[in-house]
Amino acid sequence: MSFVDTLRQWDEAVTCVDRQDFSQALRIFLAIQEPNSKIFFDIGCLHLLNQDLDAAEKAFDGSIRKDEHLAIAFFQRGITFYKKKRYEESLADFQRAFKALRGNQLIDYKALGLRYILYACDVLHNMALVEAHLGNWEKAQEHLMRALDYKTEAKFNIIDNALHSVLKQKLFKLVEFPSKMLFKPNKHYVAELEKKDYLGKAKVVASVVPQDEFSGFAPLQPQVTHGFLSTIKQILQALEGEPHTVLFEFVPETSDELAVVPGNIVFVLQKGADNWAYVVFNERRGLVPYNYLERLEISLASKKNKGITPPPSREPPTRPERIQGRLLWHSSPDNSCIVKVHFVFNFVVSVPRGSPYVILIEKISKKLNLPSTAFTLSLTSEASGQSVLNANTDTEKLWSRASGGRITLWCNAKEQTDGKPQEEEIQLVALHSYESSNPEDLNFQQGDKITLLSRVNQDWLEGQCNGNTGIFPASFVEEAPGNGQ
């Protein structure tokens, strides 16, 4: 079956669903010989409407085989397993859906043809419900507490009510996907299904002079010659898109996404609130992450570009992993604990869980390149009373405060008596503008001054600019002149 035939049947099937003719829609879907992941997903949703759980499970299996990154397919199969009372398999699928969210608060599938937003807190909510069914009430409460880190205002009451139920060891309602809502084919492709007559009708011209026996097609009209810049302007008007430069290589994971490499010029036809842009490049159209692009100003006037620093052309750095909506600064072995220390700047050290005070203080001393007598450690920002750590501290109680292999301490420098200067702030200057829709990122413009707070890893830094704090790629900045002088 050709792509055009598949597209036509897909569009016909979703039209039947819009008319509430679900049986006819399912017949059309099942007639498609090589369904893609989205069509398999639609078939599974219709089977769920018919309460045919075995057929739904099989369809969602097909959707996941075609696209192992489709979080909503894992979510729907998890719901199917839940209805079949196969709770352990349901829990595993909800966990895979949460992993596929990649630490994001939500995924908006609108750009892919599905008018639905999958929220991380909803996935965690369902994970908690399955744990409750398995009798793991403490784990259920942990999932719901974790969901609070991802909640939106609209979802707060759902999580709050579920927490009250768990505290009473009572079950609560499952968050379900509306099965009448389906993936629809790309509207730009559907528009191309209509037959078009690019040549038009032939026009026969007869001579009005009786003695002239000529008749035939009207001769070709001379074409107007345009200059190069005028042609570029017409192309931009025809595309109705904004030109952007590609900063980083993007490798597509689905058929709707478009492969691009640094230096490509693409035209953004549509930008969604979910950080995806629908672009055209070399007469091909598809989705690209918008933060991989930089807007390109094209002037029809001749200008000399002097002193412009080219943007980074290498691959984008791997983002720091996020756990419960927070940045995980470094990974550690299972028997180690990550200690995040608040100082003039933030940093982390990894020490074996249960280590005595002397090992902990030695690690931090080496990190700061300061003697252990030059600072104090405390459990709170206020270094006073029982919050101060020393050789007499009960380390069992200290490590019991660690959650998920992580603990936070505060480091306070003592007054210097040897004339040694205090730590100075490091100032950075932005080489290029950085804009991202990720809530933990720091946005800035070219030339902005940024105060370095910490180094997340070799590719990402944490800083402060214009009253905002966040992380950003290290390749977008350089150290400002005059640091340390």
Identify the structural domains of the chain with CATH numbers, from first to last: 3-167 (1.25.40.10), 228-295 (2.30.30.40), 322-413 (3.10.20.90), 426-479 (2.30.30.40)
Quick: pLDDT tens for 84-111: 999 999 999 999 999 988 888 888 888 7
Three-state secondary structure along the chain? CCHHHHHHHHHHHHHHHHCCCHHHHHHHHHCCCCCCHHHHHHHHHHHHHCCCHHHHHHHHHHHHHHCCCCHHHHHHHHHHHHHCCCHHHHHHHHHHHHHHCCCCCEEEHHHHCCCCEEEHHHHHHHHHHHHHHCCCHHHHHHHHHHHHHHCCHHHHHHHHHHHHHHHCCCCCCCCCCCCCCCCCCCHHHHHCCCCCCCCCCCCEEECCCCCCCCEEECCCCCCCCCCHHHHHHHHHHHHCCEEEEECCCECCCCCCECCECCCCEEEEEEECCCCEEEEEECCEEEEEEHHHEEECCCCCCCCCCCCCCCCCCCCCCCCCCEECCEECCCCCCCCEEEEEEECCCEEEEEEECCCCHHHHHHHHHHHHCCCHHHEEEECCCCCCHHHEECCCCCHHHHHHCCECCEEEEEEEECCCCCCCCCCCCEEEEECCCECCCCCCECCECCCCEEEEEEECCCCEEEEEECCEEEEEEHHHEEECCCCCC
pLDDT at 273: 66
Would you tell me how many other CB atoms lie within 10 Å of the CB of residue 43? 25
pLDDT at 125: 94
pLDDT at 187: 67
pLDDT at 325: 42
pTM for this predicted structure: 0.45
Contact (Cβ atoms closer than 8 angstroms) between residue 404 and residue 323:
yes
pLDDT at 131: 95
Q: Pick the closest to residue 41 from 63, 12, 61 (CA basis).
A: 63
Arithmetic mean of pLDDT over the chain? 78
pLDDT in tens, the chain (485 residues): 677 788 889 999 999 999 999 999 999 999 998 899 999 999 999 999 999 999 999 999 999 998 888 999 999 999 999 999 999 999 999 999 999 888 888 888 887 888 899 999 999 999 999 999 999 999 999 999 988 888 776 666 888 889 889 988 999 999 999 878 899 987 666 666 555 554 555 554 444 444 444 444 444 444 444 445 544 544 554 446 788 888 888 877 677 788 888 888 888 888 876 678 888 887 788 888 888 888 887 554 434 444 555 556 545 566 555 444 444 444 444 567 888 887 766 677 788 888 888 888 888 888 777 788 888 888 887 777 778 888 788 888 888 888 777 888 888 877 544 444 444 578 899 998 888 777 678 889 999 999 887 777 767 888 889 888 888 888 888 888 766 54
